[in-house]
């Protein structure tokens, strides 16, 4: 199928309100297919509140049902089974879709899907930043300990990785720098990923890119250092994670 031209209605069985399971599984990976197939299709009016309405052009619209959608999602679609990152992402996507609807109704401003996704990412970044600032730990001391560079052991290299997120350019920037055991510069590399991604996924892709780069350089005895605690913790965890973030960590 011509994926760029497909709409939601193309994934439904003709004249029936149900997903075309065979088609979805033939197009998407197993994880994405399961998420789609477990998404409820609601296009009816409940207590004069329109929930999700499937328009003729194949696009779903949302009208005055934000609270109802959240309650239903928590009770009936297994949101309680999500981990904290997945739940936060799900809720911010709902909020951004609701904002898209308000901008259309009140300002006649039609937003692209990329804008909705970028707003979701920005909200998540701001929210996580606020959580870190209000953490009971001394964040200033933590910051100083992270930013103070330490040389690797004798005979080893160190590769530092960092990711930046630009909503304006809809890109993730990744920077990598390799230094030797004396702190001397060896090599550096930068690259861009588009469109913009969730912070954890962007940081994890930065690590994956650095691992591939060092492998191609045939360097051995390399330490990798980055400032994303979530990526480091998940990398060393033995817990299976079926999310997109987990898939990237598995590749690492």
pLDDT at 62: 52
105 lies in a domain?
A: no
- How many angstroms separate the CA atoms of 99 and 138, rounded? 35
Higher pLDDT, 57 or 11: 11
223 lies in a domain?
A: yes
Which phi and psi (to 5°) does residue 159 adopt? -110, 115
Whether the per-residue pLDDT at 184 is higher than 50: the answer is yes
Looking at 18-27, 53-62, 138-147, 148-157, which range is the least confident one? Answer: 138-147
17 lies in a domain?
A: no
- Residue 3 CA, distance from chain mean position: 21
- How many angstroms separate the CA atoms of 168 and 171, rounded? 8
The answer to whether the beta carbons of residues 20 and 13 sit under 8 Å apart is yes
CATH number at residue 216: 3.30.420.10
238 lies in a domain?
A: yes
198 lies in a domain?
A: yes
- How many angstroms separate the CA atoms of 224 and 94, rounded? 36
Find tokens 């994880």 and name the residue. 31
pLDDT at 48: 39
Non-local CB neighbours of 64 within 8 Å, separated by 6+ positions: 49, 50
Q: What is the rounded average pLDDT of the residues 10-14? A: 80
203 lies in a domain?
A: yes
Number of domains in the chain: 1
Q: What is the rounded average pLDDT of the residues 79-95? A: 75
**Orientation angle between helical segments 84-107 and 113-133, nearest 10 degrees:** 130
pLDDT tens digits, 33-61: 888 887 766 554 333 344 455 666 666 55
| CB-neighbour burial class of residue 158 (10 A; exposed 0-12, middle 13-18, buried 19+) | buried
Non-local CB neighbours of 137 within 8 Å, separated by 6+ positions: none
Mean pLDDT score across all residues of the chain? 77
Looking at 8-17, 31-40, 112-121, 134-143, which range is the least confident one? Answer: 134-143
Higher pLDDT, 5 or 152: 152
Domain range for 216 is 157-251
Count of C-beta atoms within a 10 Å radius of residue 39: 14
pLDDT at 204: 93
174 lies in a domain?
A: yes
67 lies in a domain?
A: no
pLDDT at 145: 42
The distance in angstroms from the start CA to the end CA of the chain is 31
- pLDDT band with cut points at 50, 70 and 90 for residue 70: low
């Amino acid at each position: 199928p011509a994926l760029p031209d497909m709409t939601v209605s193309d994934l439904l069985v003709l004249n029936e309100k149900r997903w075309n399971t065979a088609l979805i599984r033939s197009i998407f990976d197993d994880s994405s297919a399961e998420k789609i197939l477990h998404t409820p299709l609601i296009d009816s009016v409940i207590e004069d509140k329109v929930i999700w309405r499937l328009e003729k052009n194949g696009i779903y619209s949302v009208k005055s049902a934000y609270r109802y959608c959240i309650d239903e999602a928590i009770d009936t679609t297994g949101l309680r089974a999500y981990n904290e990152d997945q739940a936060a992402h799900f809720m911010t996507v709902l909020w951004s879709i609701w904002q898209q609807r308000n901008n259309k109704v009140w300002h006649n401003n039609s937003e692209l899907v990329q804008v909705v996704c970028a707003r979701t990412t920005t909200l998540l970044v701001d929210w996580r930043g606020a959580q870190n600032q209000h953490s009971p730990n001394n964040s200033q001391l933590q910051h100083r300990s992270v930013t103070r560079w330490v040389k690797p052991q004798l005979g080893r290299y160190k590769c530092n990785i960092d990711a930046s997120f630009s909503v304006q350019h809809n890109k993730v920037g990744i920077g990598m720098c390799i230094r030797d055991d004396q702190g001397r510069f060896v090599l550096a590399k930068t690259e861009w990923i588009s469109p913009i991604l969730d912070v954890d996924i962007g940081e994890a892709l930065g690590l994956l890119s650095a691992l591939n780069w060092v492998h191609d350089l045939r360097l051995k005895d390399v330490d990798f250092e980055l400032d994303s605690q979530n990526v480091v913790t998940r990398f060393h965890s033995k817990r299976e994670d079926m999310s997109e973030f987990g898939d990237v960590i598995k590749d690492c």
